[in-house]
Structure 1
Amino acid sequence: MTDHVAVGVDGSLGSAEAVEWAVDDAVRRGLPLRIVHVADLGPYELPVRSSQTLADAQALNATRVLADAEMRARKRAQRLEIDTEVLNGAPVRVLREVAKRAVELVIGHRGAGGFAGALLGSVCMQVAGHAHGTVVVVRAVEETRPQEVVVGVDGSENSHPALDYAFEQARLREGALRALHAWQPPSFAFIPNLSSHELDDLRRVHQELLEEQIAPWRESHPQVGVVPDLWCAHPVEALTEASGRARLVVVGSHGRGALRGTLLGSVSRALLARAACPVAVIRPRQ
């Protein structure tokens, strides 16, 4: 059932920021919040007494982490329906299941060495890159920043789930939606340098592609102000630059050209490392 917002916590500053983001989004959506902590004993074979001691310590830590997260959430939204739960197992597998059953899974961009870990850590990247659903990797931004949402558009059908999510976020926030399409001129050795006229023709083609792709969403979301944004640049450069003025950047987990591949690809990895705001990664549900 995708009737709630989920947030993963581990007691770190990053997960505290994720809780606040998740609370705000749950309030905007009118949905309950599910706070989860993953306890993983790991693949180690320990003596029975040692195993029990470790399990007891993890249980105490989980209770503290969840209590702190719930307190933070209730301070931000007193009337929000909140559920907390400790889940046992391998973090990647567990969190992928959590994401599958929620409107979105929210995690911090850095953690305490647990499931969140460093932003470029294997667990975080596997969750964001392979969960079937929406994963939001949170990086705190100043509250004075305008409620602008940026969505990466590459001209393929794989952008559609990202456009769905981005337009809905812009509507909920009553903010603008910047639809960004980045393109680069051909650079093959057998193609000579293009003239300014040829570059203008290419630019028009990409502008038309962008306008055509966002047209259905503009029609279905007339209350959202849309800014088509065409860049002759690498997608990482364009999306990173745009993230400095946005509250959220939305990308699909698969794309065309430079945006192709899962989040384990170079473009998505670089965006998560460099973005100056939260990044939502959208992967269609199975």
Structure 2
Amino acid sequence: MNDRVPFASSGRDLGVLVGVDGSAHARLALHFAAVNALSSNTALTVVAVYRLPPMMYTGEPAILVTPEARAERDRAETVLDDARKYLRDYPGKVTFSSAEGSPTGVLTELSGRAQTVVVGSHGRGGFIGQLLGSVAAALPARSQCPTVVVPKHYQPEAGQGPELFAHTRDTGPVVAGIDLSERSRIVLLLAARQAELFAAPLQVLTAMPLLREWKYWYPELEEFETLTERRQSNLRASVEKEIAWLRQRQSRLEITADVELGTPGDLLEARTRAAQLTVVGTRGHGTMKSTLLGSVSRELLNRARGPVMVVPTERAAQ
């Protein structure tokens, strides 16, 4: 792959795209998106999505003909008015728009013009789900750019006026979870870019499953401590090669790497408690692979205590 940071081209004119629905979770996502857009000196685009009741279409173009249909559009405009009030002192470029359709469908389509899309972990209406909201669960697997899911534990910056959206120096790191698959460098590049924006150190984490988990697949293995140490040492050497590659491109960034014993979901969830942002890919290999969204990514989104960025690694490599 080349060294260009994916999804940062000038053609992605929507910049940081955030979906709002008037919920408390969406307000947290709006703040994270505003801080991120301002830090990266890019546009902020705020979108409220509404759905027409069934059987309300009269032809081309569709016309709102019932009080219920008008109420849906008016609700979206109210949501945008609330966002305008919240961002009244925001010093960066921001645009507001509403769109008809499903929240996941609209944000997926618009993500092709965005550098990052941000949503809350839950919402109201079409955003509500079981563990994750329906949009937060579905969008990362379909998005055409990285998706950041902001959980309820996120704490907005303190301050008033423009200071509310200025990123204050936080001691927390940006964490990149990699599995040394061929797509890992895309995750590293995006995580390094975020660390640079946040003036934060970058921590790279690779999980090594416990030997008893290997024995499920390879029962002939004997549980020798030396075997675990040898495997961990080999993994650490591989990770250091990736870090050396990254340091050639980010020489001023403070980067550390860890290879830890345990399941990826558990280890990454623990890191989200102190991290400003945790970055993972949509797909991995081995136990990290699933049909649409990698099992580790999905588990992390359900359990994270801080914002998580999911990078569509297959799209980035195209």
**Shared fold (TM-score, shorter chain, > 0.5):** yes
Matched, 1:159 2:184: yes
Residue 172 of structure 2 aligns with which residue?
147
Match of 2:161 in 1: none
CA contact (8 A) 1:249 1:279 kept: yes
Partner residue in 2 for 1:168: 193
The code of the aligned residue for 2:154 comes to V
Matched AA of 1:280: M
**Which whole-Å deviations, capped at 9, do the CAs of 1:92-116 have from their partners, x for residues lacking one?**
2211012121010000111012246
- Give the equivalent residue in structure 2 for 1:29: 40
Q: Could you say what secondary structure the match of 1:178 adopts?
A: strand
So what's the TM-score if we normalise by structure 1? Answer: 0.91
The change in CA–CA distance for 1:229 and 1:190 in structure 2 (over 3 A counts) is: same
Which of 135, 142, 154 is 1:130 aligned to? Answer: 142
Structure 1 window deviating more from structure 2 (110-119 vs 195-204): it is: 110-119
| Whole-angstrom distance in 2 between the partners of 1:168 and 1:84 | 26
Partners of 1:150 and 1:262 lie apart in 2 by 25
1:7 aligns with 2:18: yes
Is 1:266 the counterpart of 2:266? The answer is no
> Contact 2:207/2:259 (CA < 8 Å) preserved in 1?
yes
Contact 1:128 1:135 in 2 (8 A): yes
**Relative to structure 2, which stretch is displaced further, 6-15 or 130-139?**
130-139
Greater shift, 183-192 or 18-27, is seen at: 183-192
Partner of residue 163, structure 2: none
Contact 2:289 2:295 in 1 (8 A): no
Corresponding residue to 2:111 among 85, 99, 123:
99
State the shift of 1:32 in Å.
1.4
Report if aligned partners of 1:5, 1:32 keep a CA contact under 8 Å in 2: yes
Between stretches 181-190 and 223-232, larger displacement belongs to 181-190
Change (3 A) 1:123 1:182: same
Mapping 1:231-270, distance limit 5 Å: 231-261=260-290, 264-270=293-299
- Quote how far apart the aligned CAs of 1:72 are: 1.3
Structure 2 distance, partners of 1:54, 1:237, is 46
Unaligned runs of 5+ in 2: 1-10, 158-168
1:60-79 matches, within 5 Å, as 60-75=74-89, 77=90, 79=91
Identity of aligned residues (%): 32
> Which stretch shows the higher mean deviation, 64-73 or 135-144?
135-144
CA separation in 1, counterparts of 2:138 and 2:117?
Answer: 13
CA–CA separation in structure 2 for the residues paired with 1:235 and 1:189: 20
Q: Which runs of 5+ in 1 are unaligned?
A: none
Whole-angstrom CA distance in 2 between matches of 1:103 and 1:63? 25
The yes-or-no answer on 1:59 pairing with 2:69 is no
Question: 1:155-206: per-residue Cα shift (whole Å, max 9, x none)?
Answer: 1122222111100000111101110000113223532332111111111111
User: Among residues 194, 197, 208, which one is paired with 2:223 in the alignment?
Assistant: 194
User: Displacement, 1:250?
Assistant: 0.5
Q: What does residue 203 of structure 2 align with?
A: 178
> Could you tell me how far apart the structure 2 residues matched to 1:157 and 1:50 are?
49
CA contact (8 A) 2:275 2:306 kept: yes
Q: For structure 1, which segment, 123-132 or 110-119, has the greater mean C-alpha deviation from structure 2 after superposition?
A: 110-119
AA partner of residue 136 (structure 1) = V
Q: Secondary structure at the match of 1:6?
A: strand
TM-score if structure 2 supplies the norm length?
0.82
Matched-pair contact (CA < 8 Å) for 2:284–2:294: no
* 8 Å CA contact retained: 1:138, 1:279: yes
Of residues 188-197 and 266-275 in structure 1, the stretch that sits farther from structure 2 once superposed is 188-197
Alpha carbons 2:120, 2:136 under 8 Å: kept: no
Q: CA deviation at 1:117?
A: 4.9
Q: Secondary structure at the match of 1:197?
A: helix
Instruction: Quote how far apart the aligned CAs of 1:280 are.
Output: 0.4
State the partner residue of 1:217. Answer: 246
Alignment check: 8 A CA contact 1:211 1:228 kept: yes
Which whole-Å CA distance do the structure 2 matches of 1:123 and 1:175 have between them? 29
Secondary structure, aligned partner of 1:273: helix
Q: Which amino acid aligns with 2:112?
A: K
2:236 corresponds to which of 203, 207, 219: 207
2:123 is aligned with 1:111:
yes
Q: Separation in 1 of the partners of 2:70 and 2:38? A: 34
